[in-house]
Amino acid sequence: MNSTAQKILVEKAKTSKINQVDFDNLSFGSVFSDHMLVCDYRNGAWETPKIMPYQPISLEPSAKIFHYGQSIFEGMKAYKDGNNDIFLFRPLDNFKRLNISAKRMAIPELPEAYFMEGLTTLLELDKDWIPQTAGSSLYIRPFIFASGKGFHASPADEYKFIIATAPSGSYFAGKVQVLIEETYSRSANGGVGFAKAGGNYAGQFYPTQLAVKKGYNQVIWTDDNTHEYIEEAGAMNIFVRIGDTLMTGPTSDRILDGITRKSILEIAKDEGIATEVRKITVTEVVEAAKNGTLKEMFGAGTAAVVSPISTFGYRNTDYDLPELSDSYASRLKKRITDIQYNRAEDPFGWRFKV
Ligand code: PLP
Ligand code: COI
């Protein structure tokens, strides 16, 4: 560790909550580890990060986060192998994306050392919270929001960067059923869809609630202009397999540049799977479902890993996907998780030992 890390202040929790946690029955992101990292931006600079017991924070009612939604986040995971070694997956990509989101939301960018050394120091302190049960990991939520006060609709002068962590199991409990959305949009050209801005998610809740009432778990977002192109699935990038070709849409202003997405594309190529990054139309997916060439659809993201879609709904008709014994989804999920949990070689150099 270099001098920056030594500056991180650490206040340890007096008692640990770890014995209250049932590590064999973890849900997603609902119990939190003993510590969190907090770093304030004041007077034009990020101050020294502090690690402290996980606890509520106090804010002014006029803090701009409450009014203007100036808030961004990241989603990452820490994995533990059989030797109790701890790994992250492409963490610098999350750091870079946090600053891409920051720039778009007029939030001051964070120095790399604060992110990386803050995170690794926090993980070393809370390493017992990283589950070793199959399919579980420590979900990491770095976020920045406007803590500065004032009703004036302009960027705040103060911000908080926090990292909180939560031992977590699967994001989806079972099969994922999705509804292709044609009324509401998640994002638009020139908008903030490519940023991990909190408001992007708030805007999805209502259309998703409507889909849930109809029996689906998630919405498949289509482009805001024509609703003819498949873009994302809830908080996941989406992959479609027609015949033996695996496809996903190109990233754009409207789509989050997912780290799982780009990793899956590289692994698929390595596996000899034909891949295409191109606009995918709803018409061709429906047509392929009807003529039997639609083999798979799956979502990809940090929280959801690779989540196969069992059914998609479109204009009041449900289309079921076949259950394949050797699906691309299962092959690709195994390859990516074997790298993440240090169960296999990592020819790509993605694994980061803490
Ligand atoms: N798309 C959206 C809207 C997301 O929220 C996420 C989750 O982070 C993803 C895609 C997947 O991105 P990543 O693989 O980097 O987690
Ligand atoms: C992630 O995959 O890490 C995400 O950020 C999704 C989240 C909204 C649960």
- Most informative mutation of 237, 261, 336, 350 for ligand 1 (most atoms within 8 A of CB): 237
Write out the residue limits of the CATH 3.30.470.10 domain(s) in the chain. 2-168
pLDDT digits (tens, 9 = 90+) for 215-257: 999 999 999 999 999 999 989 999 999 999 999 999 999 999 9
Q: What is the CATH number of domain 2-168?
A: 3.30.470.10
Report whether 258 contacts 236 (CB < 8 A).
yes
Closest atom of ligand 2 to 139 CA is: 3
Kindly identify the ligand whose nearest atom is closest to the C-alpha of 237.
Answer: 1
Give me the pLDDT at residue 1, please: 38
For the CA of 196, the closest atom of ligand 1 is 5
Kindly tell me if the per-residue pLDDT of 173 is higher than 90: no
Ligand nearest to the CA of 140: 2
Average pLDDT, stretch 74-80?
97
For 267, the enclosing helix (H) or strand (E) is helix 259-270
pLDDT at 3 over 80: no
Ligand 1 atom closest to residue 260's alpha carbon, by position in its atom list: 14
* 186, two tokens: 């998640």
Tell me the pLDDT tens digit for each residue of 297-347: 999 999 999 999 999 999 999 999 999 989 999 999 999 999 999 999 999
Domain boundaries for CATH 3.20.10.10 within the chain: 176-340
Rounded Cα–Cα distance for residues 239 and 259 (Å)? 14
Q: How far is the CA of 201 from the centre of ligand 1 (A)?
A: 11
Residue nearest ligand 1's atom 5 by CA: 235
pTM over 0.85: yes
Instruction: Ligand 1: list residues with CB < 6 Å.
Output: 75, 232, 235-237, 256, 258-261, 301-302
For residue 318, what is the DSSP state? E
Q: How far out from the chain centre does Cα 65 lie?
A: 21
The Å distance, Cα 11 to ligand 1 centre, comes to 32
Protein residues whose CB sits closer than 6 Å to any atom of ligand 2: 75, 201, 235, 301-303
Condensed to tens digits (0 to 9), the pLDDT of residues 260-289 reads: 999 999 999 999 999 999 999 999 999 999
Predicted pLDDT of residue 233: 92
**Widest distance between CA atoms in the chain:** 62
Concatenating the DSSP letter of every residue in 190-248 gives TSSTTS-BHHHHHHHHHHHHHHHHTT-SEEEEE-TTTS-BEEEETTEEEEEEETTEEEE
Tens digit of each residue's pLDDT (9 = 90 or more) over 135-148:
899 999 999 999 99
Atom of ligand 1 nearest to the CA of 232: 1
**Phi then psi dihedrals of residue 146, to 5 deg:** -80, 105
Residue showing tokens 């799977």: 273
Q: Please name the fold of domain 176-340.
A: D-amino Acid Aminotransferase; Chain A, domain 2 (3.20.10)
